Amino acid sequence: MKKNNDLKHLRKAIKKRQDAKRFEHTMGVEFTAAALAMRYDESIQNARVAGILHDCAKCMSDEKRLAICDRHGIMVTDIERRNPFLLHAKVGAYLAEKKYGVRDQNIFNAIKFHTTGREAMSTLEKIIFVADYIEPGRRRVPGLPEIRKLAFKDLDAAVLQILENTLNYLRDSGGEIDPMTEVTCNYYREKARRE
Ligand code: DGI
Ligand code: FE
Ligand code: FE
């Protein structure tokens, strides 16, 4: 299949499974991930595929996400069991392979870690993590214009800023923090300090 057809096919499949608002976000992430791929010498095609698929398990009930994990031996941590929306990343990576035929490990990982991040992310993983936060349709969050600029200057610095914002937001709103989000934040804080 030609690459452009591939993208068209994936967009069409996802459009059927997401509500209009979520699909608009998906298109924003595809677009932004492509722009960041240009800036950071990453594969534009891979960035677009990962962008289209990153939230493929978002428009699904918690029960369904948990059932997919149980059925396919995907490990569910305690925090994920209590906050099953977090599973849309892991389940999304699984579906990217099984349902959408993605064969590239780097693309799965970009989907799998797009919500919490992880230590030592690949360029593609960071691109999706950042694109998800800064895409044009993202609702206003404090400091977003600065993070958008920063993303095209220093990708690691943008990753760190997003993690700090997310952790502050979770602390203020009383959301339960996934230890993975904290581990990622500490890693990028330490990395910035050393460089
Ligand atoms: O799926 P999206 O809404 O496009 O974006 P996302 O996958 O980054 O999910 C965003 C939400 O995830 C946002 O409200 C913050 C939340 N999040 C990120 N890290 C954690 C977290 N939520 C909890 N409870 N714990 C975390 O550690
Ligand atoms: Fe998401
Ligand atoms: Fe998203």
What is the three-state SS of the chain?
CCHHHHHHHHHHHHHHHCCHHHHHHHHHHHHHHHHHHHHCCCCHHHHHHHHHHCCCCCCCCHHHHHHHHHHHCCCCCHHHHHCHHHHHHHHHHHHHHHCCCCCCHHHHHHHHCCCCCCCCCCHHHHHHHHHHHHCCCCCCCCCHHHHHHHHCCCHHHHHHHHHHHHHHHHHHHCCCCCHHHHHHHHHHHHHHHHC
178-182 long-range CB contacts below 8 Å, 24 or more apart? 178/77, 178/79, 178/80, 178/83, 178/86, 178/115, 178/116, 179/79, 180/116, 180/117, 180/118, 181/115, 181/116, 181/117
Interval between CA 5 and ligand 2 midpoint (Å): 24
Confidence of residue 43 (pLDDT cuts 50, 70, 90): very high
**pLDDT number for residue 106:** 98
Ligand 1 atom 8 nearest Cα: 115
Q: Which of 52, 67, 43 is nearest to 12 (CA)?
A: 52
Provide the residue type at 130 as one letter.
V
pLDDT for 187 beyond 60: yes
Q: Which of 170, 172, 177, 184 to mutate to test the pocket of ligand 1 (most atoms within 8 A of CB)?
A: 170
Percent of the chain at pLDDT above 70? 97
Per-residue confidence (pLDDT) for residue 141, from 0 to 100: 87
Report residue 91's pLDDT band, with 50, 70 and 90 as the boundaries: very high
Average pLDDT, rounded, for the chain: 96
| Average pLDDT score over residue span 171-183 | 97
pLDDT of residue 4: 67
pTM of the model as a whole? 0.97
Structural fold of domain 7-142:
Hypothetical protein af1432 (1.10.3210)
Span 126-138, mean pLDDT? 98
User: What is residue 140's predicted lDDT score, i.e. its pLDDT?
Assistant: 79
Whether pLDDT at 44 is above 80: yes
Q: What is the mean pLDDT of residues 105-130?
A: 98
Overall average pLDDT of the 80-106 stretch: 97
Q: Looking at residues 156-183, what average pLDDT do you find?
A: 97
| Residue 107 CA to ligand 2 centre (angstroms) | 14
CA-CA distance, 52 to 54, in Å (whole number)? 6
Q: How far is the CA of 133 from the centre of ligand 2 (A)?
A: 9
pLDDT on residue 5: 63
The pLDDT > 90 percentage for the chain reads 95
The structure tokens listed for 135 are 């895409």
Once rounded to an integer, what is the mean pLDDT over residues 110-120?
Answer: 98
Going by pLDDT thresholds of 50, 70 and 90, the confidence category of residue 24 is: very high
